[in-house]
Structure 1
């Protein structure tokens, strides 16, 4: 926002996307007004609506800039970071800009302009859940809050993976990652990406969709901080940091995360061999089953859960894979073998059409199998290898855990 536009907006006063606040200090570095709890409510209200702008250093009664002294600017920025990260759940993404405007005496003073994008998530602030309505925040009643959660969750008509991601554009996508989706004889590239739900619109502006961020950017965690796989290998049978053999976070595009996690298991599992008629390897796990399990976790996890990452833990006697989110639709743990109900239709479809498997020994041509046989493969191959049937369970309706038992070597 340039200074002229900002000045015009301030003169018109507060509205559904503009909030003005004067900043009061006690001593050189302590901000005492506005109160951080109240400001957290204002910021979250913008994010829970359609986004907005907070201007610090303006008297909201007279609409005149009062400014923030340059020597106190860092204190204000630190104060803002603390509010966005510590008083709002999940933490809120904000963008700040310093702009000079004349005060009532005609002297140039510095204002801090805080831009809050519309969020993919619903944010709780210090005093509850709020949403911007007209020129003020309104506390959300239980029924309105339930509808808002529904609108920004899997139940909405536009699936979560098709939603636009604020502050992204096609320029944020990697050209090499995009190339696999472009067909030379199928018209305009942008239209092709839109048909595949990799591009979307947000407030009239073109942007990447959630699927576009996950598949077409080098670092999806830049916009979706929990979209990664945490992998840890232990020497023992307990989750003990002293027993860690290897630990890595895989943060690239999600197809690469699948292969990185698969290679992590292959590298860290035991593979003894016997020399009978030539060398015969006896790995702890069926690699085909491990591959299916990782693909399913990445393709079917709930990406709308802010702090839910995939966790892959390897122990001496088992492998545990945690996937965020409850089972989709009406599926239960008991019905998983009989039903195929993908949570993320776009990801599943693209995995099945555009992502060839690099290893012919995994029993399929593409990452996803349209027949929905992955669970069968995991259970049958793993039980054949170890003699124990894998165990699948829901943990507090928020996370699915798959346990694959290691073969006795």
Structure 2
């Protein structure tokens, strides 16, 4: 991160030169603790234009016409930052991550004036702001033509064209890597950056700056959702058979590195599922779910979800009679619900490759690695679950945007289990 002295020097130089493709100035009028000028929608358009282009900086407190440093009153800085945060999350779709800093710049008389510096990184996504889709052309924003917009959607929806999990995340760099998480990937005496590049965890952007890839963010950062806002698993357990907050028993957001997300979600299911018993003559436990099948299902969800879908997280919901795992993204390529148990196609090839090589599995899965690429995951889920509950799990593709797996619960009374044990 640039230090304050260097930042102030850069800003003084830039204010003297004026706006360009990477800098926009705005003076503010604040009345009754509300920003009354400029209009929120206009500023949202500016932020989205930077994100849809190569990124840029919005400097608040500088007159864009005269280049005078007008500043912001110190007691109003919190108001301005709240205004910006709400704008970036509510007026732009998908919501836009921004970085803000407070700096002091001298005006023409040499008096220090507080400003708010706002940096917007080039985005993985295409953002719509209140007046449409904008990009930066020179020192101004322009609405994109249908042709340009179509090309941008194509370029930034790389999951449809090339591997999305190898795309760079513009605002994620080497400083965001957790040292403990990268240790498993480092071997021998080769430079660390070179090793990470060979594994497609770290690459260089168009300015030759190192940036984490999507896979790098998922495996090397302590909280991937800080960079890919939906990259976590939401777990909820209900006492009944419907999704009703009044009957919620337990809830957890699993938002660590993706291998930890799998382990956390698995532990959530294990602690919330019931285990009944039959004494015939000794005790026979009847768990609601086969834990090996649950583990396979969670691994599949995390490894094969569509990380390009903004605002869609993996949902693990336990009910009294079933477990539902909803995964963002339709089935890849020509795969269908009917062919899932016979064919195996990876959406995130780089992520799957690294999970299969560097991550040991939980003992309950009876496997050596987190992913073993033999295409046996879905058959295991189906066979093991049906053997326990006597009902075959159900895969459903919802509107080509979500894959839902329903695993039916076993119990003493349901699916003939009491009779089955009585016969033994």
**TM-score in terms of structure 2 length:** 0.90
SS at match of 1:378: helix
Question: 137, 140, 144: which one pairs with 2:141?
Answer: 137
Is structure 2 residue 80 aligned with structure 1 residue 55?
A: no
Residues in 2 aligned to 1:110 and 1:198: alpha-carbon distance in whole angstroms: 39
* Residue of structure 2 in register with 1:43 after alignment: 47
Is structure 2 residue 11 aligned with structure 1 residue 9?
A: no
**Conservation of the 8 A alpha-carbon contact between 1:45 and 1:129:** yes
Q: Give the superposition deviation at 1:84.
A: 1.2
Change (3 A) 1:266 1:144: same
Change (3 A) 1:317 1:199: same
Residues in 2 aligned to 1:208 and 1:367: alpha-carbon distance in whole angstroms: 22
Gap runs ≥5 in structure 2:
1-5, 413-424
- CA deviations 1:188-216 (Å, max 9, x no partner) are 22211111111122342213222112112
Change (3 A) 1:189 1:277: farther
Q: Give the superposition deviation at 1:275.
A: 4.2
Residues in 1 aligned to 2:302 and 2:178: alpha-carbon distance in whole angstroms: 20
SS at match of 1:59: coil
Residues in 1 aligned to 2:396 and 2:143: alpha-carbon distance in whole angstroms: 37
Residues in 1 aligned to 2:211 and 2:95: alpha-carbon distance in whole angstroms: 22
Question: 159, 163, 175: which one pairs with 1:159?
Answer: 163
Is structure 2 residue 181 aligned with structure 1 residue 182?
A: no
* Residue of structure 2 in register with 1:23 after alignment: 28
**Conservation of the 8 A alpha-carbon contact between 1:55 and 1:112:** yes
Greater displacement, 96-105 / 309-318: 96-105
- CA deviations 1:94-122 (Å, max 9, x no partner) are 12223333334443323222111112222
Correspondence list, 1:377-392, <5 A: 377-392=380-395
RMSD: 2.0
Residues in 2 aligned to 1:86 and 1:17: alpha-carbon distance in whole angstroms: 24
* Residue of structure 1 in register with 2:417 after alignment: none
Is structure 2 residue 220 aligned with structure 1 residue 216?
A: yes
Is structure 2 residue 412 aligned with structure 1 residue 400?
A: no
**Conservation of the 8 A alpha-carbon contact between 2:241 and 2:321:** yes
Q: Give the superposition deviation at 1:19.
A: 0.9
Gap runs ≥5 in structure 1:
none
SS at match of 2:411: coil
- CA deviations 1:149-169 (Å, max 9, x no partner) are 222224466532222223333
Is structure 2 residue 287 aligned with structure 1 residue 283?
A: yes
**Conservation of the 8 A alpha-carbon contact between 2:159 and 2:308:** no
Residues in 1 aligned to 2:142 and 2:343: alpha-carbon distance in whole angstroms: 42
**Conservation of the 8 A alpha-carbon contact between 1:152 and 1:160:** no
Residues in 2 aligned to 1:108 and 1:170: alpha-carbon distance in whole angstroms: 34
Number of residue equivalences:
406
**Conservation of the 8 A alpha-carbon contact between 1:269 and 1:284:** yes
SS at match of 2:104: strand
Q: Give the superposition deviation at 1:240.
A: 1.7
Residues in 2 aligned to 1:273 and 1:193: alpha-carbon distance in whole angstroms: 50
* Residue of structure 1 in register with 2:233 after alignment: 229
SS at match of 1:239: coil
Residues in 2 aligned to 1:294 and 1:358: alpha-carbon distance in whole angstroms: 12
* Residue of structure 2 in register with 1:107 after alignment: 111
Q: Give the superposition deviation at 1:299.
A: 0.3
Residues in 2 aligned to 1:337 and 1:154: alpha-carbon distance in whole angstroms: 27
Is structure 2 residue 270 aligned with structure 1 residue 266?
A: yes
Residues in 2 aligned to 1:74 and 1:248: alpha-carbon distance in whole angstroms: 31
**Conservation of the 8 A alpha-carbon contact between 2:389 and 2:410:** yes
Question: 363, 367, 372: which one pairs with 1:369?
Answer: 372
SS at match of 2:275: coil
